[in-house]
Chain A
Amino acid sequence: EVQLLESGGGLVQRGGSLRLSCAASGFTFSTYAMNWVRQAPGKGLEWVSVISGTGGSANYADSVKGRFTISRDNSKNTLYLEMNSLRVEDTAVYYCAKSSHEMIMFGGCFDSWGQGSLVTVSS
């Protein structure tokens, strides 16, 4: 059974930094692209970032480009999201989501999700 467990969320001041982690189990982690998707309070889902199975390529939403960095450690089956220069509008539940394919270009189906980690950015 696929399991994705996010951690690292919390309260941070505007301009601050935070690193989210997602521990994966139940599948061969290195053979699937992985994503971060967020949901701001009372809002819909927003895709944030994707990284290929090897970690060699990544893409970002314009709203986080240059501030957030996605990475993965395939030896630890763990996905990360380093968030810098945080803004109040980054406040959201951040979900880790597994793609159905290793490559980003085929990775747009999110077939397993974690329960999310809440990030709150205060002004």
Chain B
Amino acid sequence: DIQMTQSPSSLSASVGDRVSITCQAGHDISKYLNWYQLKPGKAPELLISGTTKLETGVPSRFSGSGSGTDFTFTISSLQSEDIATYYCQQYHDLPWTFGQGTKVEIK
């Protein structure tokens, strides 16, 4: 199985701050990397697929980059509605695997 190591596990930032989350794959997954947002009581949402493709309707303050084993998810200007837990997920090989998650809070 491909292990996905995500960091940090949590972060606290102010509204308007730039926030970044990293995800490292156990081996080369090319660009087969997605990012999801989970909010309590709501259905999870796919934000970014294929490392960089923003899903329809997702605000442009969200972005992704990377390839191979190292990936980054960025919120360019944190908003209060971005409070959530974010997960990376590889789909290069079955079983598809997720990172441990990053809980984002407002300072």
Contacts and interface: CB of A to CB of B under 8 A. Distances in A.
Contact of A61 (B36, B45, B95): B95
B96 to A, nearest CB: 5
Nearest to B4: A44
| Most A Cβ at <10 Å: residue of B43, B90, B98 | B43
Contact of B96 (A44, A47, A111, A112): A47
Nearest to A95: B44
A114 B43 contact: yes
A108 B91 contact: yes
A113 interface: yes
B48 to A, nearest CB: 10
A45 B42 contact: no
| Most B Cβ at <10 Å: residue of A95, A109, A110, A115 | A109
B94 A45 contact: no
Given A45-B89, A108-B91, A113 B97 contact: no
Interface string A26-52: 000000000000000000111100100
B46 A111 contact: yes
Given A45-B87, A46-B98, A108 B32 contact: yes
27 contacts: A44-B99, A44-B100, A45-B38, A45-B44, A45-B87, A45-B89, A45-B98, A45-B101, A46-B98, A47-B89, A47-B97, A50-B94, A62-B1, A62-B95, A95-B44, A97-B44, A104-B94, A108-B34, A108-B89, A108-B90, A108-B96, A109-B34, A109-B46, A113-B44, A115-B42, A115-B43, A116-B43
